Amino acid sequence: MQIGPYRIDPPVVLAPMAGVTDKPFRLLCKRLGAGLAVSEMTNADPRLWHTRKSLQRMDHAGEPEPVSVQIAGYDPAMLAEAARFNVANGAQLIDINMGCPAKKVCNVWSGSALLQDEPLVARIVKAVVDAVEVPVTLKIRTGWDRQNKNALNIARIAEDSGIAALAVHGRTRADKYEGEAEYDTITAVKAAVRIPVLANGDVNTPQHARHVLDVTGADALMIGRGAQGRPWIFREIAHYLATGELLPAPQPAEVAQILIGHLEQLYAFYGELQGVRIARKHLGWYARDRPENAAFRQVVNRAESAEAQLRLTRDYFAALAAGELLAA
């Protein structure tokens, strides 16, 4: 998939996730095969740009290109200014959030709530595209609710306004994260526009990735929750798409190496206190599907220092590699 001057290869993209796709996680996913990793959303309101959280979100030092930054807001001029600010700060792609159903976002009339107001969507998209030289991408849901699936209208607005690529999550805003994603609307969007379309929603395995690409005809896949705790999903999907063969699951020793590296990056990026806290979330996801999951989470949640968290994690994976935990 081509977005402006950037070739996105493999066409498997880490979805923006607030509280998840920080720089350490984006770097990890890119290293493990993601063709592109979109930042957490950055609020378009300049009054929020100087908080510690915002400054951490705007740190792109050492990030492989293209650096994609998502902005969220409701006011065209404010979003245009936020786009300019982020480009000056290293963004090589600007992504507009019209996909997020989170209350915090929708209460101020942004995220997927915007889909309800097509003229406003057109004004926002045009303002942002006109504001910056870099390609602008858009992320949407299939519509406002099941009676109002207007993704096709929005896609045409996006294309006419110069949007460089469109990601569609196969749920409406009212669906939140419930039920299963549907791909028919994504198929219709792909058939209606010439700009690249990314299919998003519930892609968790290489086989499902192939299926979604086949049924939608989309140019790329966007993966969110499937990458939580499993950042190697990108290389697994990329390999399967390229060869039709499944890679073996990573061995505990490799998982440990990836995990320890991730923890160290989190401590370095956030400092020890915050890093340890954020790491708990990722460790929980890593252990999610394992029978010994509960015990591991308890152990790791007890750790208050980086040293203890690293030691308990190393011990856990050493025991896992030795087969000691399988009998437990």
Ligand X SMILES: Cc1cc2nc3c(=O)[nH]c(=O)nc-3n(C[C@H](O)[C@H](O)[C@H](O)COP(=O)(O)O)c2cc1C
Output the smallest distance, CB 56 to ligand X, in A. 15
Nearer to ligand X, 15 or 279 (CB): 15
Q: Which amino acid is at 80?
A: A
Give yes or no for a cis peptide into 66 (omega within 30° of 0): yes
Q: What are the residues binding ligand X (CB under 6 A)?
A: 15-20, 40-41, 70, 97, 99-100, 139, 169, 200-203, 223-226
Output the smallest distance, CB 318 to ligand X, in A. 30
Nearer to ligand X, 231 or 252 (CB): 231
Catalytic choice (80, 87, 100, 283): 100
For residue 106, indicate whether it is catalytic: no
CA distance 210 to 216: 10
Nearest to 15, CA basis, from 222, 186, 218, 170:
222
Characterize the bridge pairing of strands 2-3 and 6-7: antiparallel
Nearer to ligand X, 39 or 150 (CB): 39
Output the smallest distance, CB 141 to ligand X, in A. 8
Output the smallest distance, CB 175 to ligand X, in A. 10
Does residue 302 contact residue 276 with C-beta atoms inside 8 Å?
A: no
Return the DSSP state at 288: T
Using CB positions, name the residue nearest to ligand X: 224
Nearest to 215, CA basis, from 202, 233, 230, 234:
202
Q: Which amino acid is at 148?
A: N
> Which residue numbers are catalytic?
100
